[in-house]
Amino acid sequence: MFRSVEQLLRPRSIAIIGASETGGGGWAKQLFDNLAFAGFPAEVYLINPRRSELWGQKVYPDFGAIGAPIDLGVAVVPAEATPDVLTDGVKHGLKAALVYGARFGEGGDPDGARRAAVLRTLSEDAGLRISGPNCMGAVNVRDRLLLYPAPRVRALRPGSVGVVFQSGGTFQFWLQQLSVRGLGFSFAVSSGNELDLDLADYINFLVEDEGTRLICCMVEGIRRPDAFVAVAEKALARAKPILVVKIGASEAGQAAAKTHTGALAGDDRVFDAVCRKYGIVRCHSLDDMIETALAFAQGRLPRGNRIGMAIPSGGAKGLFMDYVAEEGGVFGTLTPQTVAALRPIIDPGVPAENPLDVGAGLAVAFEKYAQACGVMAADPNIDVFAMHVLVPTEAEDRVPTEPFAHVAQAVDKPVIGFTRLQQNVTAASRAFQDATGLYFLQSMPATVRAIRALIGYAATLRRGAPPASSADPADVSAAGLSDLLTRYHLPSPKSAFATTPDEATKHATEIGFPVAVKIVSAQASHKTEVGGVALNLASAEAVGAAATTMAEELARHVPGAKLDGFLVQEMVAGLELIVGVREDPQYGPLMLVGTGGVLVEALGDIAMRLLPVDEAEARSMLMELKARALFGAFRGRAPRDVDAAARAIAGLSRLFLAHRTALAELEVNPLIVLGEGEGVRAVDVRVVRRGET
């Protein structure tokens, strides 16, 4: 499943194809200079049939003249020449190639597509591993193999962060900025068009590399979803966090959706579900990925979700509380012992509480302020502690380092230093950071998001992926569906099927009024759109009239439609949810839960997960909804039966996994959640069986 990137990132011999003095040597000269700067960590050969010597080195006309197989060929030649030179390389044992150039089929260019086909044949038939085309190279920082055509990569420090960007230009600036903030790198790759090697291959290499502890990616698209999921699961098993900035919320693949679930399951939402299941941290922006990387770089994970914070400012404390609330975070409650220990340290009259405003008197009384921070950080009700620190920017700024270093050293939980606002990073601030052993995050909103990322990742790591569900396949025909749903905690209201309006009135009388009547027709997927639903019918006459009108409306809206009959159901009232499962073409079975009814697509208040979903995860989905407050007591109405809703969601997950060979989609909309202890009712069920159009 994964292709080796060993020869790309750890080559022992490199051939620069297209070495030339034209235009000052261009990228070829910059690559050569980078390797020379690093003391030539690999054997370097230059290839150009029109030169015999260049930059004090012998130049070879082709691969054959070198007389030995080459690990990596760096192609800095026009696109038209690339297929021929790489074909020549493969004939003489070339193992891998870095292709910087573009025009390999981007934008539908037929000539470029033909060139890409040659490269694809070299990779598939000859085993040539290709990075690119249209990339900006790769950097093995540890071994100083600087195959990026810019001198700025020479300043990158070795460390434990591995990087894969599908954007070459942005790549170098992000690396530089994270380096300025104090982190070092193991390997960094600009993957380009990914004609051969792709994101999953590079991440797999980084997961297996012992020196890489954190992986950061900028992603435009996932070319092999199955491989990506496999490597994400592998990274989670080895506790190697993956941070991702993903662009492009594509709506591809929704045109053929047959249910609300299908229409709402956009590619980006499905990717979100993948991230949640496997602990991938989605970052708000490239700037956020820097702050989040700094938070993870400490190597500590919280044991719970309780946040602690200290700052010498009441206003900043209020803002921090707002940001935590926006992110759904919670603050821990300090123990009486902590409160007692804080009172003699902080300003008189300041509440000893969490989050803590220590008072203006401690703003520059650094030792006392750090002492208060240490007391809070040690509180057993705090899982991750954040402290504002006045990070110096000038040499004359006198802020002691030892007291703040001690705060982090005295506990084994994450301790996050942060600044209120973004600020310049200077030699003084870097020296302060090095001396304290802390990475300082910039701005309170980004700090809170990074803390929440730590908490979320740690929770996923503790939980692991839910176990696979197992059940015996059962009857999924229309006749057996109601019993099957009931077995999986999705009982239907009292109901009966009628073929005529007169039969509908008879069944309604037996069920008891009021009732709902719904049209049954394969051509009426969304019943409300063809006038196929009537609610709260209180008499036999009303039922007969409604059924007759429905038949007429179906014929008017969908000429030639086949009317199978009418479903008569008892009326149930409660909170309406939509609960749907479907087979995603890229990532497999997934679940959608949202506020239901006819406005579900307009409101878009949904949560999504990959299957399996257990009851704990089902509760988490319900609590993500904007309408979650409606599950509690509301305007005199009793709380809703959340336990039953969670059982129903988990039951639908098990049902679908047990019948994937027969079902393509199954949706309940609405699933009525009754009062606490009264259960749920699957009012309207939409089934799409495999092979149905």
Q: Which domains does the chain have, with CATH numbers?
A: 6-241+279-288 (3.40.50.720), 300-463 (3.40.50.261), 494-570 (3.30.1490.20), 575-689 (3.30.470.20)
Phi then psi dihedrals of residue 19, to 5 deg: -60, 130
pLDDT digits (tens, 9 = 90+) for 244-303: 999 865 444 333 344 444 444 457 888 999 999 999 999 999 999 999 999 999 999 999
User: Residue 396: exposed, middle, or buried by beta-carbon count in 10 A (0-12, 13-18, 19+)?
Assistant: exposed
For every residue of 217-278, DSSP letters joined together read EEES--S-HHHHHHHHHHHHHTT--EEEEE-----TT-TT--SHHHHH--HHHHHHHHHHHH
CB 620 within 8 A of CB 631: no
pLDDT digits (tens, 9 = 90+) for 222-260: 999 999 999 999 999 999 999 999 986 544 433 334 444
> Of 502-511, 534-543, 551-560, which gets the smallest average pLDDT?
551-560
The pair of structure tokens assigned to 192 is 């380009």
User: Residue 417: exposed, middle, or buried by beta-carbon count in 10 A (0-12, 13-18, 19+)?
Assistant: buried
Q: What is the mean pLDDT of the chain?
A: 91
Q: What is the pTM of this model?
A: 0.88
Question: 3-class DSSP state for residue 408?
Answer: helix
Q: State the first-to-last Cα distance of the chain, in angstroms, to the nearest integer.
A: 33
pLDDT digits (tens, 9 = 90+) for 315-368: 999 999 999 999 999 999 999 999 999 999 999 999 999 999 999 999 999 999
* Mean pLDDT of the region 10-22: 93
pLDDT value at position 13?
A: 98
